[in-house]
Structure 1
């Protein structure tokens, strides 16, 4: 075979992998953004129906007190199964062993049914302890909310197995659709419950919050029904697919179960990384603030709610890009590992990080630029909320980077490196938590998270380089260029925002939304022009960006 043919084949494979990455990321990003937007937008009527601002903030903090431990138990119950199953299924599909993939799915359902039940029971029993050690004014209310959430753990693990199985076929659309469906049903149930309890029957806040959290189970039920239909419709688990298997590999039931567990355990630890950081905040913020400030319990609950609930809901919209790319990269990297394509793996590492940074840096800096009107739209005008949202926006860059690089290196069979990175990062956060909160108050909680996940990300990137060396110089240069373009965009965005402030009061929610939309549009145009004009987008995204640039005559 000539060198020209080899190069052409290499370019085709690289283009195909990049296309799958972009397509999968597009589907998962769209689903995540829609889901996160719904998860943020519902808060406007939800808090309005709860009562006055103080009552609404307290209700939101109570809601978050339940959701943070739930997120950890959810990670334990699912045990990183979507990624673990996707990795295993993609590996065996790449060598034509579709029968083994089907068996992995069946065994996964069995295992997750058990872990879901155990996690639900444990969370229910530990609810009083968790509530008593959380920043909430009433431990009894916190216990009720946490126990209401435990029911969802009975169903979501088996749903995660099905999502992972479908993703293993490098088909992201069904998972994306199910994610949106789950959120739509959940939000409708939440809003209907709160309206009936608070506005119609004048019920208690804790009952309204409890029914809101129960919406997680209702949404999961709708999502699971859709995924079961997809598996049946596409016949992914039928004997016809298994009949294509050459049966060159024989794997026993015990081997399959052991394989799932061994693959899943690192995914659960790494997948719970952000939740672990949130739990550190939940269990340390209250005692630290009591020792370093004169805040009342209600003030501590409110400030914690603003940082851990209000701002967090907003940054999750941006963070969804990182989560989507992480999910998409698992089957692609697993497939490259199965084929022993080391050059492809090196390119995948570099391209994935660049693609993430191309999106998440401008999105995070842009959110910081419009934090004031954005916070007003969702929660009413508040200087403290604005400042917290700005710092949280910057934190998103490090959370997104950690999410992507940790999942990628685990998909490349280096789980220990990912876990070590998380461990060192969380130790750094714990060490810095007290002094930073002492000096910066609530902002210190966010700063310690930034430093912690910054350390984790750098540690993991170094391990990735040791696994498959890639061009760190190229990555650094493009990261710098992305940051410069993002700052140029931010300066222009702040200028437009301040100009609009001369005529528009930011305290009005509708007018604040107008400011956000105008400034966001200007920011997207400026940043889009810069990355297309410089051809940076061509180098990171590929031919699709070049095609767009030609159409726009840039």
Structure 2
């Protein structure tokens, strides 16, 4: 195809939008996740000997809260993003605005209902554990306003405006962490030293963060009031749709997002309620120690790998409105191109990030949590799980963006069934690593089914994608070997359990590992093929021929 044809322009424009949107969402997600991991360092110090127990309590609270959060937002950000992009592609801006304002009323009601439900159900969900009940109730408050904040983010994303979402996400996280650390210090160092109170205030910090995040989005909305009024004035007005039909459309689109967005949390909830009893059937170990072990993979490792998974979430959010618009136009060629671009961009970023994390697992874990051999091994295994979690996130979003909601849900449930069926036998044979291995098996099955469905329906360039994935994986393994050799060598001459040593290892190994991988994908032109010709300028500046 000639590079000057309209089709070539559309393809290039869509790729550029995706890269630009991914950059914003990746920056927001990564910075938020990094902040969400960094706070652990002072939090761990101030919690003292109660850290692992407190972290298990924090993790159990957030796992259930996350499901309530997904239900209370009812998949609205993604559904609104998808529907707004759909109506905008039809030049029906007024319908998109009507959908937004009615959705705002709905989300306010959902916030009240979900807040009340979590408060009332807290004792039952906590299995009548007073400490966990207190944590659940502190997490009920953010549910009041997060649904409305999520709606605003989805609205902006429907216009391919990722900056408001990314910046508000970052501000929300900053405010949350400042409040969390301040209250933890006051309670544990100046107050009654009750770790349950400290954890409750740490979780209530989500409400404080949400207030700041919502405020910023409202400011963005009012600043663009004239622009939105102009778009409404030029709307085609060919679609007449009632408020009731709008709400029905929202729910039709939202319910699949609820199920699929809950998937990762449901995997961890299975672990939360089955890990202790299944382990006690096979091994002689008490509940306090099992809670600590649970915190190692569901709390500590999960918090770090979600930094990497957030890369996939950012790409998925960016791809959704572009795919919905292409599907609305009936442009199957563009859809296939978008699928290919999304998958290859995911692989070139996600695979080296996850494998690299496994390579520096020891210093990374020591820096955030202190030395724990079991925790380090769990992080190494969880780093591989991160690739599958990220792939599932992207594939589920692709199917939803193409209006294959039932298919996506069915394939997710098959994988979830595999996870549930393998939970006990894998715990029996692999001890504490069993839950993570079961999650990997479930996600692998679901991802395989979803890839097959996309290939059959849209004939994206799967062979080309597999070839490039093989190259990406090979370069990532070379990078892994380099960083692992550096870490192992430094461990021979420095104390690997020291936080200072961990920083030295990361500062040396991480840039070298990134440099090795970057050189490989630039030298072979693999980066050019996936990211585009703009990367050629970087190669020239680096004098890589």
Normalising by structure 2, what TM-score? 0.98
Show the 5 A alignment for 1:160-179: 160-179=150-169
User: Out of 342, 350, 353, which is 1:352 matched to?
Assistant: 342
2:280 equivalent in structure 1 = 290
Distance 1:184 1:337 in 2: 37
Is 1:380 the counterpart of 2:370? The answer is yes
- Look up the SS of the partner of 2:493 in the other structure: coil
- Look up the SS of the partner of 2:459 in the other structure: coil
User: Out of 209, 214, 228, which is 2:204 matched to?
Assistant: 214
CA contact (8 A) 1:231 1:237 kept: no
- Look up the SS of the partner of 1:502 in the other structure: helix
Show the 5 A alignment for 1:142-181: 142-181=132-171
User: Out of 331, 337, 340, which is 1:341 matched to?
Assistant: 331
User: Out of 103, 106, 123, which is 2:101 matched to?
Assistant: 106
Distance 1:118 1:285 in 2: 31
1:244 equivalent in structure 2 = 234
Distance 1:203 1:301 in 2: 21
Is 1:19 the counterpart of 2:16? The answer is yes
Please list every run of 5 or more consecutive structure 2 residues that lacks an aligned counterpart in the other structure: none
Report deviation, 1:8.
2.4
2:36 equivalent in structure 1 = 39
Report deviation, 1:23.
0.6
User: Out of 48, 52, 76, which is 1:51 matched to?
Assistant: 48
CA contact (8 A) 2:370 2:499 kept: yes
Distance 1:249 1:192 in 2: 52
Report deviation, 1:440.
1.1
User: Out of 257, 262, 269, which is 1:272 matched to?
Assistant: 262
Please list every run of 5 or more consecutive structure 1 residues that lacks an aligned counterpart in the other structure: 133-137
Is 1:127 the counterpart of 2:151? The answer is no
After the TM superposition, which parts of structure 1 deviate over 4 Å for at least 4 consecutive aligned residues? none
Give the root-mean-square deviation of aligned CA atoms: 1.2
Show the 5 A alignment for 1:543-554: 543-554=533-544
Distance 2:290 2:66 in 1: 22
Is 1:416 the counterpart of 2:411? The answer is no
Change in Cα spacing, 1:160 to 1:513, as seen in structure 2 (3 Å) is: same
Distance 2:227 2:494 in 1: 58
Report deviation, 1:439.
1.2
CA contact (8 A) 2:180 2:202 kept: yes
Report deviation, 1:202.
2.9
Distance 1:312 1:336 in 2: 35
Normalising by structure 1, what TM-score? 0.96
Distance 2:272 2:107 in 1: 28
1:80 equivalent in structure 2 = 75
Is 1:402 the counterpart of 2:392? The answer is yes
How big is each residue's C-alpha offset from its partner over 1:134-177, in whole Å with a ceiling of 9 and x where there is no partner?
xxxx8110110011101111110000000000111101011000
Distance 1:304 1:236 in 2: 52
- Look up the SS of the partner of 1:51 in the other structure: helix
How big is each residue's C-alpha offset from its partner over 1:188-227, in whole Å with a ceiling of 9 and x where there is no partner?
0000000001101133111010000000000000000000
Distance 1:521 1:232 in 2: 42
